[in-house]
Amino acid sequence: MKKNSGFTLLELLLVIGLSTAIAVVAFQDKMLETEQSQARQLGMELFQYNSAVQNYLAHESGNKNPASLNGVKHSGVNWLKSSSSCSGGQAVKEWLACRFLQAQGGKTTFGRLSFNTTLSFSSSEGLSATTVVSPLEFNKNGVMERRGDLSGLAALVASGAYSVKDKPMAANSQDSSIVYCPETASKSPSMAAICNGRDGSIVMFSRNLSESDRWLRVDHGNVMQNTLEFRTGSTTPESLSEIQKIDSVARQIRNVARIYNLGDGNTNGENDNLYLGKRKGEFAKTSATLKSDAVIVDADQEILGKLIVQSDVIARGNITSEKDILAKGNITSEKDVLAKGNITAEKDILAIGNITSKGGLKVDKDALISGNTTTSKIIDANDGNYYVDMNGSSKLNVLVANQIESTGFILPGAFKPGENCSRNGAIGRNSATNGPMLCVNNKWESNESKIGPWVAYSPNVTYTAPSDGFITAKTRHNNWVSISVGGSERCHVAARDKYGQGQVSCTSIVAKGEKFRVTGGIQYIYFRQIG
């Protein structure tokens, strides 16, 4: 009999069975690997959301009233997206990127899970947020099956992530917990406090307690409890000299938009002033006159650029300027103003009080004086030979007046008849006879033919002038004399002492019909007609 070669039917069935079993195991393993990969991606999405919540909490913790957020609830992810740049966004800042879960309608890529966040505030724990993610469930043969293994893997990945969403921000210093709450009766105390009956769900708890931070936070949630000190080199310098040797370049704060003191959060009695420098130390807090909302510079200050002040400048010391001081408004001084150089005013100078000059006062144009002008002598600026001396002799070229009244002699200049004169009607004196002269048609003419003789009168008697004329009286030795016309004194000469010149004269002019009287120690009185 001939022998056949190949597999028997039994062998073939055995090979097919083994291959099928291996394929099923491999397929299940591949399915599990795929699900685990999707769970890891879910964990990254959970972390991105929770990191945005943490940044939101940190920022709001630095605001004036974080307690107002207590009990506020949010669903979905749009409350963390910017309202100005994201469609449907509700936040004033961008905590989440616009494209985060945008295509999935705000639900996770794997499992289509939704987010529900509740904000809380307490004085002990500050601002916190609890986010409950809907359970991860799949339909298996018509029955919804929860995948605790994949939920736990996603929570584990979210807890161990190192990057915040799609931006390179450090997040390993955030205070948060991301846990999967298993459907078991036994849980650790910390897990039980977070889960609180939320079995089968992923719960993310975040809060902003910065008191225990080792690093300076830049997310608006830092609470400083001590001094911020810059150092380079050794982290524990042994002396002050070692700190002073540190390179100043390594201790700069750059690109700062504003430095200010909030003040509202102070509970230790401090005011809300901002102090720069440390010359006076703690004494600066009591010596500063501005007690709130001020910046106190406790050191010398040098400004190399322009200084613009939109309110008052109050200086309790001197203000020294090496160049001009320009003021568009008024300059007011409650005390003396000392200028060692010239003072130039392009407009008026107004003085409510006196203007006193120890030197000269020069006026190139008109001078308007509403009050008295007191001076010892007025000298003509064009010709110094002409002047007015109030209690001495004055020299003028021409005097034009509506009326000239003299209590003493009026002594006209001496001229010769026939000489030229410039002002018709002027009175002159005949240089030959000492008689009066008149300027007529610009010639000096003698008027003596119209002058009557001298007539003697008695003193202390009231007379009526028979015509226009001169009255002249001479005193006895060391006596006085007074001439009154119409009840008003026209001429008065005081008595001289025994060392004086002896006799003195008093002269006045009267009109026809005027009453005149001469009193005093008189030697003689004469009246002479004019015209």
Residue 329: inside a domain: no
Verify that 70 and 158 share a domain, yes or no: yes
* CATH number of domain containing 456: 2.60.120.40
Q: Environment class of residue 285 by beta-carbon count within 10 Å: exposed (0-12), middle (13-18) or buried (19+)? A: middle
Question: What are the tokens at 487?
Answer: 């009840």
Q: How is residue 36 written in tokens?
A: 């685990």
Token pair listed for 250: 């390594």
Q: What are phi and psi of 440, to 5 degrees?
A: -125, 125
Q: CA 262 to CA 226: how far, in whole Å?
A: 16
Predicted local distance difference test score (pLDDT) of residue 11:
67
Most confident of 90-99, 170-179, 268-277, 478-487: 90-99
CA atoms within 13 A on the CB side of 148: 8
In a domain, 53, yes or no: yes
Do 166 and 287 sit in the same domain of this protein?
no
10 Å Cβ neighbour count for 504?
Answer: 20
Bridge pairing between strands 522-530 and 436-440: unpaired
Residue 405 lies in a domain: no
Better-scored residue on pLDDT, 398 or 48 = 48
515 and 456 belong to one structural domain:
yes
Q: Are 134 and 205 in contact (CB under 8 A)?
A: no
Angle between helices 9-61 and 148-159 in degrees, nearest 10: 40
Collapsing DSSP states into helix, strand and coil, what is residue 177?
A: strand
Asked whether residue 144 is assigned to any structural domain, the reply reads yes
Query: How does residue 165 score in pLDDT terms, banded at 50, 70 and 90?
Result: very low
CA separation for the pair 64, 253 (Å, rounded)? 25
Nearest alpha-carbon partner for 131 in 241, 34, 207, 223: 207
Which of 149, 132, 121 is closest to 208 using CA atoms? 121
Residue that terminates a domain, selected from 422, 446, 470:
446
Residue 331 has pLDDT above 70, yes or no: yes
Q: 167 and 31 in one domain?
A: yes
8 Å CB contact between 506 and 482:
yes
Structure tokens at 404: 């000239």
C-alpha 233: how far from chain center: 42
Per-residue model confidence (pLDDT) at position 114: 93
Task: Show which of 248, 278, 300 is a domain's final residue.
Answer: 300
pLDDT digits (tens, 9 = 90+) for 378-419: 888 888 888 888 787 888 887 777 767 666 666 778 888 788
Query: Is residue 37 located within the same domain as residue 77?
Result: yes
Domain containing 438 equals 411-446
| pLDDT band with cut points at 50, 70 and 90 for residue 270 | low
**Dmax of the chain from CA atoms?**
209
Enumerate the β-bridge partners of residue 450.
Answer: none
Query: What is the enclosing helix (H) or strand (E) of 131?
Result: strand 126-133
Adjacency order of strands within the sheet including 515-520: 462-464, 515-520, 481-485, 488-493
| Residue 320 backbone phi and psi in degrees, to 5 | -115, 130
Q: Tell me the pairing of strands 427-430 and 414-415.
A: parallel
Instruction: Tell me if 362 is assigned to some domain.
Output: no
Grouping H, G, I as helix, E, B as strand and the rest as coil, residue 203 is strand
Is position 67 within any domain?
Answer: yes
Specify whether 420 is located in the same domain as 454.
Answer: no
Q: Determine the pLDDT at residue 200.
A: 86
With residue 506 as reference, give the H or E element that holds it: strand 505-510
35-62: average pLDDT: 86
Which residue is listed with tokens 């889960």?
A: 195
Lowest mean pLDDT among 111-125, 151-165, 481-495: 151-165
Q: How far is CA 63 from CA 67, 68, 128, 445, in A?
A: 10, 10, 14, 108
- Tell me the percentage of the chain whose pLDDT exceeds 90: 10
Helix (H/G/I), strand (E/B), else coil: 167: strand
Question: Domain check: are 420 and 491 in the same one?
Answer: no
Residues 462 and 440 in one domain: no
What gap in Å lies between CA 221 and CA 128, rounded to an integer? Answer: 12
516 within a domain of the structure (yes/no): yes
- For residue 173, what pLDDT is reported? 44
Q: Which helix (H) or strand (E) covers residue 18, if one does?
A: helix 9-61
Of residues 160 and 113, the one with the higher pLDDT is 113
Report residue 221's pLDDT band, with 50, 70 and 90 as the boundaries.
Answer: low
How many separate domains does the chain show? 4
Q: Can you give the three-state secondary structure of 138-158, one letter per residue?
A: EEECCEEEECHHHHHHHHHHH
Coil, helix or strand at residue 274? strand
SS3 category, 28: helix
Q: What is the pTM of this model?
A: 0.46
Note whether 91 and 194 are same-domain residues.
yes
Of 300, 318, 336, at which residue does a domain stop? Answer: 300
143 and 32, same structural domain? yes
Q: How far apart are CA 28 and CA 34, in angstroms?
A: 10
Asked whether residue 9 is assigned to any structural domain, the reply reads no
Q: Say yes or no to pLDDT of 425 above 60.
A: yes
* pLDDT confidence of residue 164: 41
Q: Are 480 and 508 found together in one domain?
A: yes
Quick one: 76 and 27 in the same domain?
A: yes
